[in-house]
Amino acid sequence: MSFKLAVIGTGYVGLPLIREAIRAGIPTFGFDIDLDRLGEMRAGRSRVDDISDDELATMLTNGFTPTAEPSDLDECDTYVICVPTPLTEDGGPDLSAVISSAEMIAKRVRPGDLVVLESTTYPGTTEEVVGPILETSGHVVGRDILLAFSPERIDPGNPRFSLRNTPKVVGGVDERSTARATELYSRVCDEVVIASGTREAELAKLLENTYRHVNIALMNELAQLAHELDIDLWESIRCASTKPFGFHAFYPGPGVGGHCIPIDPNYLSHHIRSRLRHPFRFVELAQEINAGMPAYVARRTQDLLNDLGRPVRGSRILLLGVTYKENIADQRESPARDVATALLHLGADLHYWDPYVAQWQSGGSPIPRVMDVAEAAVDMDCAILLQNHRELTPDRLAAFGQKLLDTRGVTVTGRRL
């Protein structure tokens, strides 16, 4: 069966889907309300780390049409919603972009069309929120309109796994919806995993990231305790990792970043509290521990400077890597901002180095950028390794000696978290 696809949202989730759809020969519209983003895409400039400008140019040549005009989607028969779902002030998901997308689709959906939600949210959103909006069209979900949920599993900057070779979970409101969604994703992914329903697929996504969230929190708390006990946690993790069964390595760090780990588990915790009036204690404790790591890094930096005979106030401190993940430009929820805020509050003279970030600020104040790491190793009073970009060779890091606080456990000369 042929598809005429509309992807709503052209960010780090939507654009990779569009790329694979174009490669599969599916004509695809990419709808977005960000006019600057659309203008850059039309000019062949990609904002998504995993898609190069050359790849984007090829997509435009082969059937990709970026648009902000809803009427351009009138002839589409398949709609995939890939819009952001940030947190609201009370900790739940902000579904405003999902709702507006569903309302736009409802104005043009026809019998037999497929709608898929990929945006991460709490279990029940597909059927309880998106479905009723689509039915304002006069068509019935499950009878006239096909509806499914398929969680995004994009890992930005991962050179090994992409949308194509990461198994795609699909759960529909009924067998017809699941079958049609499976047919779509079989064109763009090597493997499709069928869930028994939309809620199971929605929970699967939250389970993946809650698993990581909780285990990272365990390592972050252990890092603090091991430091007080004068134990090298990184060495303990290395030894434990030699066990061929029953152990999966997680590592401490300066905090958690990106959209998934700091955000997604809160959807589940909020949903359980609002529906069941019961706390999700594991998630809430993990959030507390992980959110406290930037302040802990600031305290460890203060201790390091004290040992060197310097106060934090007035000391020249270099942050190495301010993105949330290595080797990409994505800064979403990066713990570097909270680390910077804590150090600025203590009066530090803060600087940053990051080859992927041309300008950076914390709390509205611009932070000076350092270009030469070797020169900084001499000039700075101390440095904090927050993100181990590939450009930070062992020699470059070794030059800081005991002036380096290593939150990633990659050096032997610096002080590890």
Catalytic residue check, 382: no
Q: Which of 196, 218, 249 is the last residue of a domain?
A: 196
Specify the pairing of strand 404-406 against strand 382-385. Answer: parallel
Give me the phi and psi of 131, to 5 degrees please.
-55, -55
DSSP 337-350: HHHHHHHHHTT-EE
Cite the DSSP H helix spans in 167-229: 175-188, 198-228
Please tell me the predicted confidence (pLDDT) of residue 337.
95
Q: Are residues 66 and 190 in the same domain?
A: yes
Element (H, E) at 375: helix 373-379
Q: Are residues 173 and 34 in the same domain?
A: yes
Partner residues linked to 7 by β-bridges: 30, 80
Distance of alpha carbon 194 from alpha carbon 127, whole angstroms: 17
Calculate mean pLDDT across residues 32-37: 96
Q: Are residues 185 and 331 in the same domain?
A: no
On the question of pLDDT at 1 being above 70, the answer is no
Specify the pairing of strand 365-366 against strand 361-362. Answer: antiparallel
- The enclosing domain of 104 has a CATH number of 3.40.50.720
pLDDT tens, position by position, 208-257: 999 999 999 999 999 999 999 999 999 999 999 999 999 999 999 999 98
Cα dihedral value 408, 409, 413, 416, nearest 10:
80
In a domain, 222, yes or no: no
Give me the phi and psi of 235, to 5 degrees please.
-70, -40
pLDDT tens, position by position, 350-391: 999 999 999 999 888 899 999 999 999 999 999 999 999 999
Supply the mean pLDDT for the chain.
95
Specify the pairing of strand 349-353 against strand 168-172. Answer: unpaired
Task: Tell me if 370 sits within 8 A of 352, measured CB to CB.
Answer: yes
Residues making up the chain, counted from first to last: 417
pLDDT tens, position by position, 124-147: 999 999 999 999 999 999 999 999
Distance of alpha carbon 47 from alpha carbon 33, whole angstroms: 15
Query: Which residue in 351, 241, 329, 381 sits closest to 48, CA to CA?
Result: 329
Q: Are residues 34 and 167 in the same domain?
A: yes
The catalytic residue among 82, 189, 260, 382 is 260
Q: Which of 146, 162, 196 is the last residue of a domain?
A: 196
pLDDT tens, position by position, 164-223: 999 999 999 999 999 999 999 999 999 999 999 999 999 999 999 999 999 999 999 999
pLDDT tens, position by position, 319-339: 999 999 999 999 999 999 999
Tokens of residue 405, six digits: 């606080």
In a domain, 19, yes or no: yes
Domains in the chain: how many in total? 2
Q: Are residues 170 and 304 in the same domain?
A: no
pLDDT tens, position by position, 263-293: 888 888 888 888 888 889 999 999 999 999 9
Q: Are residues 192 and 315 in the same domain?
A: no
In a domain, 284, yes or no: no
In a domain, 362, yes or no: yes
Distance of alpha carbon 172 from alpha carbon 412, whole angstroms: 51
Task: Tell me if 20 sits within 8 A of 188, measured CB to CB.
Answer: yes
Q: Are residues 167 and 310 in the same domain?
A: no
Distance of alpha carbon 188 from alpha carbon 3, whole angstroms: 12
In a domain, 62, yes or no: yes
Element (H, E) at 305: helix 293-307
Please tell me the predicted confidence (pLDDT) of residue 244.
96
Q: How sure is the predictor about 258, in pLDDT bands with cuts at 50, 70 and 90?
A: confident
Q: Are residues 16 and 160 in the same domain?
A: yes
Element (H, E) at 168: strand 168-172
What is the extent of the structural domain holding 320? 293-417
pLDDT tens, position by position, 46-69: 999 899 999 999 999 999 999 999
Instruction: Reduce the DSSP state of residue 247 to 3 states and report it.
Output: coil
Q: Are residues 20 and 133 in the same domain?
A: yes
Distance of alpha carbon 63 from alpha carbon 27, whole angstroms: 5
Q: Which of 144, 169, 196 is the last residue of a domain?
A: 196
Q: Are residues 185 and 298 in the same domain?
A: no
Measured distance between the N- and C-terminal CA atoms of the chain, rounded to whole angstroms: 54
In a domain, 251, yes or no: no
Q: How sure is the predictor about 89, in pLDDT bands with cuts at 50, 70 and 90?
A: confident
In a domain, 20, yes or no: yes
What amino acid occupies position 117? Answer: L
Q: Are residues 183 and 299 in the same domain?
A: no
In a domain, 37, yes or no: yes
